[in-house]
C-alpha cells in the first residue's frame, strides 16, 4: 500500500508546483525500515543530515514517473 500512496503524493506535489515554487521533496523517515522503503523509490539519505532525512529533486521524480 505504501507505493501507491507515495505515487499519489508525487502527483499532488507535481500539481502543486504549478502554483508554488518547489525544487525538492523532503522526507523525514520515521525509522530505518521506512528509510529503506524510501531508498527503494530513489530517495538518497541527505549527506548534510546524518539522520533519517531524505531529499530528492522534484524534476528527477517527475522524469521517473512521467509527470513532465
Instruction: Please give the tally of structural domains in the chain.
Output: 1
Q: Which residues constitute the domain of residue 41? A: 1-67
Q: What is the largest CA-CA distance in the chain?
A: 33
Task: Give the separation between CA 32 and CA 26, rounded to whole angstroms.
Answer: 16
Give the 3-state secondary structure of residue 9.
helix
Grid cell at residue 66:
512521467
How does pLDDT run across 4-42, given as a tens digit for each residue?
998 898 889 888 888 998 899 999 999 989 999 999 999
Grid cell at residue 46:
541527505
CATH number of the domain enclosing 50: 3.40.630.30
Higher confidence at residue 12 or residue 67? Answer: 12
Write down the mean pLDDT value for the chain.
Answer: 87
Q: How large is the average pLDDT for residues 38-51? A: 83
**Does position 46 have pLDDT exceeding 80, yes or no?**
no
* pLDDT range class, residue 48, cuts 50, 70, 90: confident
Amino acid at each position: 500500500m505504501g507505493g501507491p500512496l507515495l505515487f499519489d503524493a508525487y502527483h499532488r506535489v507535481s500539481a502543486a508546483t504549478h502554483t508554488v515554487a518547489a525544487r525538492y521533496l523532503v522526507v523525514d523517515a520515521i525509522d530505518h525500515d521506512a528509510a529503506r522503503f524510501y531508498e527503494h523509490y530513489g530517495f538518497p539519505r541527505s549527506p548534510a543530515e546524518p539522520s533519517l532525512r531524505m531529499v530528492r529533486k522534484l524534476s528527477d521524480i517527475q522524469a521517473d514517473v512521467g509527470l513532465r
